[in-house]
């Protein structure tokens, strides 16, 4: 049901009390605005116009009534009750009548009641004038006539009564001598004129007014902008609230949205509301999950941020971010966050820790779910159990704790003679020899954040950023790591933990945000007010959290050397260097902020950009690092460097090269084309509409300035800054950017040059240091302290294993199946074969795109021989980076940047359903494959001819003889994949596992997984060995693709109708006249791969048998954590797969995997994944601190946990509540966030190519919704007996050695060294 705005709710309340002649106008108003809702505005405009006309009549009536106010004032004393009645007005407030900022005089006096007409009694309060805090030109005059809230949390609610019923004990307020506002006088007069004598004349007059307005609304469709009674544009009116002052409210043209900044009166908290047009214009799915058709309406977003200034590197801001979500006053469950993951329709649910703020954002497309998420987060941050005595365990679980090495599941030490779990041992049964240090158990560190940061510190690129920031900011809080240094985290005490929360988690130090429609805004304001008002104002929390500027204090640049953990064989190479500058020491203007974004693009935005190109062409290193501009904090920085430097001398050479390149740019400047290209690219990205999470982008973007007490609006608007920057560039040209380089980079000594050098021994040294740290701490413990740690460990394990009571579980917010749309999300699509007799298939998607055309052109590549497919990535790289016959790489890329929003080439290798399986959901054979090269681009409507011109040049004229460009690209790509092994090992493990069960998956692993490291290294060798021959191979490949049969090509267009019309006209010329046709040697028709096996299948199957000689593999990398994967086949090829399988997999991920592997054993992430396409299920961990064999043992308990839940009725109690929760969570993940126009068009194309029908999607959804306990049993039994079970683990070599020594488990360990794969069979 659509909610009314605050203004409308209060208006209705007053109208109800007057009982006007046309019946009950409030009920009619609700019928027009609430029951029919905004949707009726479009479907039944007559009903909507009638309701609007009545509202307008009411406004006109009270204005008319003001004409006799002076006569009435002289004879009647008017007393009003204490209730705030808002009326929007542009008038300045009259002195003495500003109840929005008024203080109530609590000296109440009894006075004789004066009877008003129709027995209406009004009580009056004393109002004291205060200055308005609002800076907006739109002022709100208010009349207090009753309590507007449903609670009495604040002083403003004291003494509130309803309307007088004539009782003698009713308290009244003495009338003070102040001048009423025009609206007050009008309202009193309306009541006066309702006396019987004057009812007839009023009835006649108001009838005429009402009929006039109805006539105007009936004959006016709103198209006449001069009509004074037309409906205001969406978002044109801000939302008022009695507990907040409006600081600023403006309609932001850049986003077609109203942006309103409020300040909470009781606490000073600031609240930003974002109301986009689409929340009124597109009205679907307010009360469902987002299914039932394409709905581009943005997701509803709520967020709250606290400025959290770290005072050490213990990671307390980060640990608190995790901890506050572990139960609260209203939601006492151990983990409401996990419960929301299990069973909400959230499209975003997370939290972030920045160096100076902690942010808690949520999003959903379902209104009821959105309000649940909002309430859970508000209660979590303001009333967390983690800082109370009852939450003693949270710091130990989420932060850090001592665990006993080799302890049983219940935390005890020694032989576990009980059955699984053994969680009922009494603490008295634990006997340790406390009188002897020798007999003490060995400790180790555990904790979710501790594990997360061990993984983060294992990534060299992340490490160099963290150390650089510490060195660059020696005098302010940025020198500390807010995420936590693993070496320092164990020094955090509970007292420091609680103190940090109390210091910074106060409403006065908070910034809140909501994106939605007006009712969402009002609800969010009210909800936040209920939590914040009782906490009062605390100026110290905001003052203490202020971030001070780091001054430029370096007399000369700082140079530092630090080690990082390297893989075996890389100790003599793999150096890294990054130079980081401090850019500003005071706030910068919006224009200069945008200028820095443009300069960053000029320097590093493209492979052809001068700084990027200079570094890559130098051959000093493998790839560029640093990321360039970072403007997310109080002070911006600029970083640039390289990794993969071969020797120590290259470090100095690289630093010299960087500075020389900057000096050259200072001298020569940038060309007009360079600047025009970067400006257009940035402007296009600013203007292009985002997807459903646009509100999230607004919130996080606003915090970049809002967090430092600057205007959030200025952080996100860009039109004025863009205009000023264009004018400045027109006036000075490149001089602006040359001056910026000279003053902030070249002449700026406040910079850090940080070198990381490889150390093969560092990993072992860190492990030894950690053991020494633990042993030292343990040696200083008294017997009592030691025993307390043992006891608390047992208590923690026991608590984690304990099932929560039904009352606690019921406290978690929940939805019902009725909240879910039963229809799947469908995107518009129209398919036309042989478009314009070109032989090419045309696919159209008509969606609102704001005048932007999205074009995708696909070409079949199945004719490429299997032994040549490793070169496809090289062809794609050149299509993306090389120049043409007439333009070099920089000129061509500038041309693309000037006329389009971007053009790129990519390769797609995907499964397709066999013919006749469109409506079925079966495990695919894996031999029906599509392999296509796509050229994708976007542009404004007027640039569509230019876009297709770029397509033509990319396909036909790119200069393949570009050795340096290709070498640089392949080298950077290989370096990036090697780095991903360290921080995304779970992804490589999953790809490696699935590659064993399907040809399609094997091809994906070969081209993008661990195997691609080998093939990429081989291609690099071929480039250097015989470049001329290599170019000939690429040229033959391109010609074969371009001259392929037209029935293997597809053109995909997405946009508004007029965009599609314009695009099709140009597309016809491109397809018919521009693409070459070899009439002398026409290509054979492209096979229908839904009916024919792909030609790569047979050789791939042969290679599969050789590639996976062992089912159990390990990949050794330098890391302090592990990524463990295990999987197997659960369904055979051709077997029907029920949608319920997704529900049980989701249940495992958010239940057993979360509770046992993450919470109890400290892994940062743990997942259950299932694919109905290949019938394979996998278990994976992310940044796992445990030895791999420990985690594999925990995997073995997953299936049994489901069966145990069935046996204990945990799934079926409370009317199958747990199953319903899992169903809702699965649907939420399936539907996801609203897609951008480009993403919607691409998703529809992929569905079309896959051969999936609407019927199959509906069947899959129905099966999800009808999941039963029998489906859980079936899925668990399949896991227990899954076939061809295999293991893939990414971990350190020492972890594999420890695993082997503990279990004797044989793994084929693959060691990555110097880009060459070596195999070591561990016995």
Q: Is the pLDDT of residue 126 over 50?
A: no
What are the tokens at 1206?
Answer: 């069935």
Residue with tokens 């560029």, as numbered in its chain:
624
> Looking at residue 1213, what is its pLDDT?
87
**Is pTM, for the whole model, over 0.85?**
no
DSSP 453-485: HHHHTT-HHHHHHHHHHHHH-SSSGGGS-TT--
Residue predicted with more confidence, 215 or 501: 501
Inter-residue contact 583 to 636 (CB < 8 Å) = yes
> Looking at residue 1303, what is its pLDDT?
86
Q: What is the DSSP letter of 855?
A: E
- Residue (of 581, 1162, 681) closest to 898 by Cα position: 681
> Looking at residue 412, what is its pLDDT?
66
Segment 713-767, tens digit of pLDDT? 999 999 999 999 999 999 999 999 999 999 999 999 999 999 999 999 998 999 9
Segment 1002-1019, tens digit of pLDDT? 999 999 999 999 999 999
Element (H, E) at 845: strand 841-846
Percent of the chain with pLDDT over 90: 70
Q: Which of 6-15, 647-656, 1293-1302 has the lowest mean pLDDT?
A: 6-15
Mean pLDDT score, 860-864: 96
Nearest-angstrom CA–CA distance, 984 and 990:
10
Alpha helices in 247-345 (DSSP H): 278-281, 316-323, 336-343
Residue 573 — very low, low, confident or very high, per pLDDT cuts 50/70/90?
confident
Mean pLDDT score, 886-904: 96
Residue 213 — very low, low, confident or very high, per pLDDT cuts 50/70/90?
low
Non-local (6+) Cβ contacts of 907 within 8 A are: 861, 872, 873, 876, 931, 932, 933, 934, 1007
Residue 308 — very low, low, confident or very high, per pLDDT cuts 50/70/90?
very high
- Residue (of 768, 975, 925) closest to 1251 by Cα position: 925
Q: Is 1243 a catalytic residue?
A: no
Residue 568 — very low, low, confident or very high, per pLDDT cuts 50/70/90?
confident
Average pLDDT, the chain: 82
Nearest-angstrom CA–CA distance, 349 and 1225:
12
Q: Which of the following is catalytic: 321, 465, 616, 1005?
A: 321
DSSP 1270-1299: HHHHHHHHHHHT-EEEEEEEEE-HHHHHHH
**What residues pair up with 905 in beta bridges, in sequence order?**
935
**What residues pair up with 271 in beta bridges, in sequence order?**
262, 512
Q: Which of 183-192, 252-261, 338-347 has the lowest mean pLDDT?
A: 183-192
Nearest-angstrom CA–CA distance, 52 and 995:
62
Mean pLDDT score, 560-565: 95
Beta pairing, strands 300-307 & 346-349:
unpaired
Q: What is the DSSP letter of 162?
A: -
> Looking at residue 197, what is its pLDDT?
53
Residue 1284 — very low, low, confident or very high, per pLDDT cuts 50/70/90?
confident
Q: Is residue 1186 helix, strand or coil?
A: coil
Q: Which of the following is catalytic: 14, 172, 270, 398?
A: 398
> Looking at residue 211, what is its pLDDT?
63
Segment 4-58, tens digit of pLDDT? 444 444 444 444 434 333 333 333 333 333 333 444 344 444 444 444 444 454 4
Nearest-angstrom CA–CA distance, 246 and 234:
19
Q: Is the pLDDT of residue 67 over 70?
A: no
What are the tokens at 509?
Answer: 């130090």
Q: Is the pLDDT of residue 69 over 80?
A: no
Nearest-angstrom CA–CA distance, 341 and 1158:
14
Q: Which of 18-27, 323-332, 924-933 has the lowest mean pLDDT?
A: 18-27
Segment 575-584, tens digit of pLDDT? 999 999 999 9
Nearest-angstrom CA–CA distance, 105 and 176:
10
Mean pLDDT score, 558-568: 92
Segment 150-209, tens digit of pLDDT? 333 333 333 333 323 333 333 333 333 344 444 444 444 555 555 555 556 666 666 666
Segment 934-983, tens digit of pLDDT? 999 999 999 999 999 999 999 999 999 999 999 999 999 999 999 899 88
Residue 1308 — very low, low, confident or very high, per pLDDT cuts 50/70/90?
confident
Residue with tokens 């062809």, as numbered in its chain:
875
Q: Is 398 a catalytic residue?
A: yes
Segment 960-972, tens digit of pLDDT? 999 999 999 999 9
> Looking at residue 439, what is its pLDDT?
77
Residue 220 — very low, low, confident or very high, per pLDDT cuts 50/70/90?
very low
Range picked from 136-150, 287-301, 467-481 for highest mean pLDDT: 467-481
What are the tokens at 505?
Answer: 């988690």
Segment 1221-1240, tens digit of pLDDT? 999 999 999 999 999 999 99
> Looking at residue 233, what is its pLDDT?
42
Nearest-angstrom CA–CA distance, 936 and 208:
61
Beta pairing, strands 510-515 & 270-276:
parallel
Residue predicted with more confidence, 127 or 654: 654
Inter-residue contact 575 to 581 (CB < 8 Å) = no
Q: Which of 233-247, 283-297, 489-503, 551-565 has the lowest mean pLDDT?
A: 283-297
What are the tokens at 1158?
Answer: 């993450």
Residue predicted with more confidence, 211 or 457: 457
> Looking at residue 413, what is its pLDDT?
60
- Residue (of 1008, 1030, 1019) closest to 908 by Cα position: 1008
Beta pairing, strands 1307-1313 & 1112-1116:
parallel
Residue 995 — very low, low, confident or very high, per pLDDT cuts 50/70/90?
very high
């Amino acid at each position: 049901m659509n909610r009314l705005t605050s203004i409308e709710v209060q208006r209705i309340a007053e109208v109800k009390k007057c009982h006007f002649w046309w019946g009950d106008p409030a009920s009619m108003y609700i019928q027009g605005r609430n029951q029919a809702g905004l949707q009726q505005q479009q479907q039944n405009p007559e009903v909507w116009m009638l309701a609007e006309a009545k509202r307008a009549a009411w406004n006109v009536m009270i204005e008319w009534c003001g004409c006799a106010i002076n006569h009435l004032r002289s004879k009647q004393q008017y007393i009003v009750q204490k209730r705030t009645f808002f009326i929007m007005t542009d008038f300045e407030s009259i002195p003495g009548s500003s109840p929005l900022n008024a203080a109530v005089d609590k000296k109440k006096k009894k006075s004789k009641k004066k009877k008003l007409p129709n027995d209406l009694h009004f009580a009056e309060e004393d109002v004291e004038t205060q200055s308005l805090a609002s800076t907006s030109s739109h002022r709100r005059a208010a009349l207090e006539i009753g309590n507007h809230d449903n609670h009495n949390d604040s002083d403003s609610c004291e003494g509130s009564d309803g309307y007088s019923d004539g009782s003698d004990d009713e308290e009244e307020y003495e009338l003070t001598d102040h001048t009423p506002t025009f609206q007050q006088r009008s309202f009193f007069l309306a009541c006066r004129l309702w006396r019987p004598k004057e009812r007839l004349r009023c009835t006649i007059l108001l009838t005429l007014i009402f009929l006039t307005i109805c006539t105007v609304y009936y004959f006016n469709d709103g198209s006449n902008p001069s009509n004074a009674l037309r409906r205001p544009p969406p978002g044109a009116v801000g939302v008022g609230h009695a507990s907040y002052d409006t600081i600023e409210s403006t309609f932001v043209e850049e986003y077609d949205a109203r942006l309103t900044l409020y300040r909470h009166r009781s606490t000073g908290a600031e609240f930003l509301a974002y109301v986009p047009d689409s929340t009124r214009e597109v009205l679907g799915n307010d009360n469902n999950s987002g299914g039932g058709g394409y709905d581009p309406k943005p997701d509803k977003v709520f967020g709250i941020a606290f400025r959290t200034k770290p005072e050490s590197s213990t990671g307390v801001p980060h640990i608190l971010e995790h901890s506050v979500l572990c139960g609260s006053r209203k939601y006492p469950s151990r983990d409401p966050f996990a419960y929301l993951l299990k069973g909400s329709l959230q499209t975003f649910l997370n939290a972030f820790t920045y160096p100076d703020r902690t942010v808690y954002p949520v999003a959903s497309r379902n209104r009821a779910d959105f309000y649940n998420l909002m309430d859970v987060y508000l209660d979590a941050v303001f009333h967390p159990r983690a800082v109370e005595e009852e939450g003693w365990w949270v710091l130990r679980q989420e932060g850090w704790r001592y665990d006993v090495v080799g302890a049983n599941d219940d935390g005890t030490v020694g032989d576990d003679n009980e059955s699984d779990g053994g969680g009922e041992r009494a603490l008295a049964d634990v006997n340790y020899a406390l009188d002897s240090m020798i007999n003490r158990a060995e400790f180790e560190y555990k904790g979710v954040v501790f594990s997360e940061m061990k993984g983060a510190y294992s990534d060299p690129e992340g490490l160099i950023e963290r150390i650089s920031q510490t060195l660059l900011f020696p005098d302010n809080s940025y020198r500390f790591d807010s995420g936590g240094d693993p070496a320092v985290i164990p020094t955090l005490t509970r007292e420091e933990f609680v103190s940090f929360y109390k210091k910074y988690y106060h409403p006065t130090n908070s910034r809140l945000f909501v994106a939605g429609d007006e009712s969402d805004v009002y609800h969010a304001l009210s909800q936040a007010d209920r939590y914040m008002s009782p906490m009062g104002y605390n100026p110290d929390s905001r003052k203490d959290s202020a971030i001070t500027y780091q001054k430029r204090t370096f007399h000369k640049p700082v140079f530092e050397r630090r080690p990082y953990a390297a893989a075996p064989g890389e100790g003599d190479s793999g150096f890294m260097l990054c130079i980081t500058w401090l850019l500003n020491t005071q706030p910068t203007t919006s224009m200069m902020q945008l200028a820095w974004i443009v300069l960053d693009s000029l320097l590093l935005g493209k492979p052809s950009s001068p700084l990027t190109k200079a570094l890559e062409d130098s051959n000093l290193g493998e790839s560029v690092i640093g990321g360039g501009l970072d403007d997310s904090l109080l002070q911006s920085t600029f970083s640039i460097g390289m990794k993969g430097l071969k020797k120590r001398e290259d470090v100095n050479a690289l630093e010299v090269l960087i500075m020389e390149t900057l000096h050259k740019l200072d001298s020569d400047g940038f060309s007009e084309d360079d600047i025009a290209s970067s400006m257009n690219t940035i402007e296009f990205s600013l203007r292009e509409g985002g997807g459903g999470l646009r509100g999230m982008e607004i919130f996080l973007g606003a915090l970049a300035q809002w967090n430092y007490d600057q205007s959030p609006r200025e952080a996100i608007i860009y039109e004025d800054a863009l205009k000023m920057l264009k004018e400045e560039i027109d006036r000075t040209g490149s001089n602006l950017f040359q001056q910026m380089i000279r003053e902030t980079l070249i002449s700026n000594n406040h910079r850090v040059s940080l070198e990381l050098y490889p150390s093969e021994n560092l990993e072992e040294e860190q492990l030894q240091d950690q053991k020494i740290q633990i042993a030292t701490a343990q040696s200083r413990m008294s017997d009592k302290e030691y025993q307390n740690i043992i006891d608390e460990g047992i208590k923690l394990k026991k608590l984690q294993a304990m099932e929560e009571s039904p009352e606690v579980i019921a406290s978690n917010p929940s939805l019902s199946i009725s909240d879910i749309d039963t229809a799947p999300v469908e995107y518009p699509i129209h398919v036309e074969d042989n478009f314009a007799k070109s032989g090419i298939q045309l696919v159209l998607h008509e969606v609102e795109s704001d005048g932007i055309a999205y074009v995708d052109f696909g070409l079949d590549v199945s004719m490429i021989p299997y032994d040549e497919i490793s070169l496809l990535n090289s062809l794609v790289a050149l299509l993306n980076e090389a120049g043409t016959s007439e333009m070099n790489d920089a000129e061509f890329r500038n041309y693309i940047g000037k006329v389009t929003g971007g053009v790129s080439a990519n390769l797609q290798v995907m499964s397709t359903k066999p013919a006749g399986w469109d409506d079925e959901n079966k495990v695919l054979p894996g031999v029906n494959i599509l392999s296509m090269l796509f050229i994708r681009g976007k542009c404004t409507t007027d640039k569509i001819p230019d876009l297709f011109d770029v397509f033509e040049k990319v396909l036909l004229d790119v200069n393949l003889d570009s050795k340096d460009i290709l070498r640089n690209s392949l080298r950077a790509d290989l370096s990036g994949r090697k780095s991903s092994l360290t921080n995304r090992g779970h992804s490589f493990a999953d790809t490696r596992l699935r590659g064993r069960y399907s040809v399609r998956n094997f091809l994906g692993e070969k081209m993008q997984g661990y195997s691609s490291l080998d093939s990429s290294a081989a291609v690099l060798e071929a480039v250097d060995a015989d470049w001329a021959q290599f170019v000939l191979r690429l040229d033959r490949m391109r010609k074969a693709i371009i001259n392929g049969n037209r029935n293997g090509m597809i053109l995909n267009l997405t946009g508004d109708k007029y965009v599609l019309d314009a695009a099709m006209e140009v597309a016809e010329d491109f397809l018919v006249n521009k693409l070459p046709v070899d009439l002398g040697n026409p290509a054979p028709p492209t096979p229908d791969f839904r009916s024919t096996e792909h030609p790569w299948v047979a050789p791939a199957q042969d290679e599969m048998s050789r590639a996976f000689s062992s089912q159990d593999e390990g990949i050794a990398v330098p890391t302090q954590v592990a990524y463990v994967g295990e999987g197997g086949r659960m369904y055979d090829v051709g077997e029907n797969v029920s949608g319920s399988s997704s529900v049980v997999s989701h249940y495992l991920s958010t239940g057993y995997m979360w509770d046992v592997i993450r919470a109890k054993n400290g892994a940062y992430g743990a997942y259950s994944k299932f694919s109905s396409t290949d019938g394979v299920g996998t278990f994976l961990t992310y940044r796992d601190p445990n030895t791999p064999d420990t985690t594999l043992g925990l995997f073995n308990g997953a299936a049994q946990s489901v069966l145990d839940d069935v046996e204990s009725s945990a799934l079926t109690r409370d009317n199958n509540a747990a199953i319903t929760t899992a169903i809702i969570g699965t649907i939420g993940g399936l539907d996801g966030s609203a897609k951008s126009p480009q993403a919607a068009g691409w998703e529809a194309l992929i569905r079309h190519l896959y051969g999936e029908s609407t019927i199959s999607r509906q069947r899959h959804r129905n099966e999800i919704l009808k999941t039963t306990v029998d489906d859980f049993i079936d899925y668990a039994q399949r896991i227990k007996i899954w076939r061809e079970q295999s293991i893939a683990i990414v971990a350190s070599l020492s972890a594999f050695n420890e695993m082997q020594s503990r279990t004797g488990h044989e793994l084929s360990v693959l060691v990555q060294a110097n880009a060459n794969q070596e195999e070591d069979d561990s016995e």
